[in-house]
Amino acid sequence: MKIRVYYEDTDVGGVVYHSNYLNFCERARSEAFYERGMTPILKEGHFVARRIVGNFLSSAKLGDVLEIKSELLKMKAASFLLRQVVYKGTEKVFELEILLAYISFEGKPQKLERETKELLLSLF
């Protein structure tokens, strides 16, 4: 997914706020579902962040066009690990590893069904 950095994403010096990289990655994950006519909220539940490890490598600035690439690293019974990298051209700006857990609408962890696992493999 590509995204342009707008004024609202930056500080007074035009540098992207650190927390906005998390927002950019979230948008990219959601967009993967939207591109297929779906939402990240599935029939039986939805995903929540369980662990996030971020690595800030360089700064993006006002007006930059960023590309977010996502890669599925590992899938478990009720969660999956995803790596997302934010690029400015060919330069790596930010790296994220996020463990996403699948929970019911009541907030209980639940196993990923076969169809959900296949969906995740096709998205990432």
* Per-residue burial over 93-118, b = 16 or more CB atoms within 10 Å of its CB, e = otherwise: bbbbebbbbbbeeeeeeeebeeebee
Cα gap 81→113, rounded to integer Å: 16
Our answer to whether residue 11 is catalytic in this structure is yes
Planar angle of CA 14, 53, 77, nearest 5 degrees: 135
Active-site residue identified among 2, 4, 6, 11: 11
Q: What number of other Cβ atoms are within 10 A of residue 17's Cβ?
A: 12
Task: Judge residue 27's burial from the number of C-beta atoms within 10 Å of its C-beta, 0-12 exposed, 13-18 middle, 19 or more buried.
Answer: middle
Task: Indicate which residues carry an active-site annotation.
Answer: 11
